[in-house]
């Protein structure tokens, strides 16, 4: 079973998710600066989510790059991950339109957390069907302290979610911090491919 | 006539169908739990439809994987199938926003039924143009009790649709049951390809 | 300049056009048959437009299949064609929501007419850059009475547009007739490819 | 790291951007000419933006055509560019619905300006990772007076933005002029590829 179509389908879904988020930037009726101002938090949350979906696309690209085979299990793991990713537009718009009030900000963190958690079975399934822990992908992701970035992200999300009910601004700062951590793509796979080449 | 573009176009359409369904999860104006509660049935019907479209994408992938040639007839059979699949967002939203009332729940079943029925000419046309009942695809799909899953699904839909006017919750349970039946992808094609390899 | 990306981009745009039309099938607030009835003309015009966009995708596929090279001129001719095709969702929704009243029905015909006209420079440009009238594509499209289907379609549209102000139902019947004429894909190219092979 | 998926993803995002802009052409409730007239400025700004996004897609196609390798830096430069491009639908709709009033017209120019500026790091990053200024891409883009079109565009945008507060119609004419300048695709790359072949 080739990986071409799973890449094409995921690219399509991720491209649509990243683009329909901009539809929440509703066109204001007035044409002065005052009518633009309430859009600022919507714009900021759009920018943050664009970065997050970009990170996931980037890592998805890296993950499948090192993969030779995709079986039925991996397809469902991929769809499971895409399902949670598809809630980004909703969570983003709710947080932005309510100007970072507690519950929407916490809910945004919950969606980030679930998406991060649903990434794990996708990576695991692909490692399993591509040589296991000793395959190229397995060694690439398992080495050098393992998935410390994944673990750190989950920890920060788990902290930021309850924090949103007291200091939602700080939660947003933490979400942005995790994004920053991931903007550097996962070079481990690239390095390993070079070493094994 | 290659199969590359029919795959790319179908991937595009299915990716858009699966993603625009989330647009029906309208952002609430309030920012408390109470404003989130009416969205629960919309979310549940979105999740069910996401699984169904995922199943169809998966099976579409499997079906075309075993195909060498696509002629004009198959293209129209594919478009005919995609047309009914494109009604999922409407049927899903109508059922979800009306909190599983009888008519929308029955209508959701009707769309499931027509999509399942329109899958049959697509499979038949592709079998015909790829060696017939004795080709790889024909033997893969015809063997071992034939399309019992297709038949069982059609039967359950036909039961669930009238049932929706009395017990819509049970109809939904039946729809979910059929989805469960299909989450295991059609391994027959994979197995046959292995055997004939 | 390869043709892969122009195919991929066109597939994407056409897939989105064909799918966003279904968004005009607005979810009704009631959950009885009465609330579904006003959607019937919207559904019918959606079905007609789905067939038309399907025809164009099919012919686009056939056209580019016989092409080896795509230059800058062909790219702009393609974008010019896609621009008019992108007006289908608007024209479809306007005709459907106004229940086939004269002006929207005429306007739908105008969009059909312009899309058909904008197809001509696309076909011409691709013929020019692929061996001219004596190339595979040129001979395939030029032989056997030439583009009689294109000419017949343009003629019928030109008749149906003014007719819409008197008998819009008849105009719709004529639009459907032209669609029927085209559902049979352009076998000339397929045949020629076989003969020259 | 291959360039296939970055092309596919960019094609998807650009195809969605160019197509969702048409959703702002809201279907009017009336069915006479009078109800169509307020849509004219929306249609005109849609046409202008369609041309602009078409230009960017064309140049993106040309740019990546000459590229062999895409690294992590180029992916982020590409996402950065796509982010600003994704603001086209918003800027287009705001300008169109307000009938070319000063602030929305100036804001449209700002989005054009930022998109043009964000194109520069994308081109630079790709040149760097593909042989630098002496590689095929570097020589193609650096020769013959360099990026005079980019510089001229930036200059015209910078003039048109403040001008919008006095003569918004003239600003729109300037935006259209820049579009005209770019409709001719960047033949430098095509020529260089031929020469080096």
pLDDT at A58 over 80: yes
Q: Which tokens belong to B60?
A: 């579409």
CB atoms within 10 A of CB A96: 27
Select from B72, B75, B86 the least CA-distant residue to B114: B86
Written in H, E and C, the secondary structure of C99-135 is CCCHHHHHHHHHHHHHHHHHHHHHHHHHHHCCCHHHC
Judged by CB atoms closer than 8 Å, whether chains meet at D19 and C24 is answered as: no
- B1-34 pLDDT, tens digit each: 568 888 888 989 999 999 999 988 888 888 888 9
Give how far A92 is from chain B: nearest CA, Å.
9
* CB proximity under 8 Å: D 153-192 to C: 183-185, 187, 190
Rounded CA separation B111/B92 (Å): 10
Interface test with A, best of B11, B33, B38, B64 (most A CBs within 10 A): B11
Q: Which of C19, C33, C183 sits opposite B13 (nearest CB)?
A: C19
Judged by CB atoms closer than 8 Å, whether chains meet at D94 and A27 is answered as: yes
Give how far B106 is from chain A: nearest CA, Å.
25
- D77-104 pLDDT, tens digit each: 999 999 999 999 999 999 999 999 999 9
Judged by CB atoms closer than 8 Å, whether chains meet at B16 and A12 is answered as: yes
- Looking at residues D166-171, what average pLDDT do you find? 94
User: Which structural domain range is residue C19 located in?
Assistant: 4-196
**Which sign does the torsion angle of CA C47, C13, D54, B1 carry?**
negative
pLDDT at B41 over 70: yes
Judged by CB atoms closer than 8 Å, whether chains meet at A16 and D17 is answered as: no
Rounded CA separation A156/C3 (Å): 46
pTM for the structure as a whole: 0.89
ipTM, interface predicted TM-score of the complex: 0.87
- The average confidence (pLDDT) of chain D is 86
- Specify the number of domains making up chain D: 1
Numbers of helices and strands, H then E, in chain C: 10, 0
Lowest mean pLDDT among A68-77, C32-41, C171-180: A68-77
Judged by CB atoms closer than 8 Å, whether chains meet at C11 and B12 is answered as: yes
Give how far B143 is from chain C: nearest CA, Å.
33
Rounded CA separation D70/A62 (Å): 12
- The average confidence (pLDDT) of chain C is 86
pLDDT given for residue C70 in this prediction: 83
Rounded CA separation C35/C29 (Å): 7
Residue D117: C-alpha distances to residues A184, D70, D122, D124, D163 (Å): 22, 20, 10, 12, 20
Q: Which of B9, B76, B90 sits opposite C25 (nearest CB)?
A: B90
For chains A and B, count residue pairs whose Cβ atoms are closer than 8 Å: 78
Question: How does B160-172 read in b/e, with b if 16+ C-beta sit within 10 Å?
Answer: bbebbeeebeebb
The residue of chain A nearest to residue D92, with distances taken between CA atoms, is A27
Q: Which chains touch A (3 or more CB pairs under 8 A)?
A: B, D
Task: List, in sequence order, the alpha helices (H) in A100-184.
Answer: 102-128, 136-142, 148-163, 168-183
- C75-116 pLDDT, tens digit each: 889 999 999 999 999 999 999 999 999 999 999 999 999 999
């Amino acid at each position: 079973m080739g990986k071409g179509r799973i890449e094409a389908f995921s690219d399509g879904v991720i491209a649509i998710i990243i683009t329909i988020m901009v539809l929440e930037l509703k066109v204001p009726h007035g044409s002065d600066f005052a009518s633009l101002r309430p859009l600022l938090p919507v714009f900021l949350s759009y920018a943050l989510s664009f970065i997050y979906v970009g990170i996931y696309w980037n890592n998805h690209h890296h993950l499948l790059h090192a993969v030779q085979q995709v079986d039925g299990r991996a397809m469902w793991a991929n769809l499971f991950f895409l399902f949670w990713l598809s809630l980004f537009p909703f969570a983003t718009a709710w947080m932005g339109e309510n100007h970072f009030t507690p519950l929407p900000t916490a809910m945004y963190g919950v969606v980030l957390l679930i998406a991060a958690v649903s990434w794990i079975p996708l990576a695991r399934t692909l490692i399993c069907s591509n040589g296991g822990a000793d395959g190229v992908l397995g060694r690439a992701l398992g080495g050098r302290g393992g998935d410390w970035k994944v673990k750190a992200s989950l920890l920060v999300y788990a902290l930021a979610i309850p924090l949103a009910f007291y200091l939602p601004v700080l939660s947003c700062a933490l979400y942005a911090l995790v994004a920053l951590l991931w903007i550097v793509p996962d070079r481990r796979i690239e390095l390993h491919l070079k070493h094994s080449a």
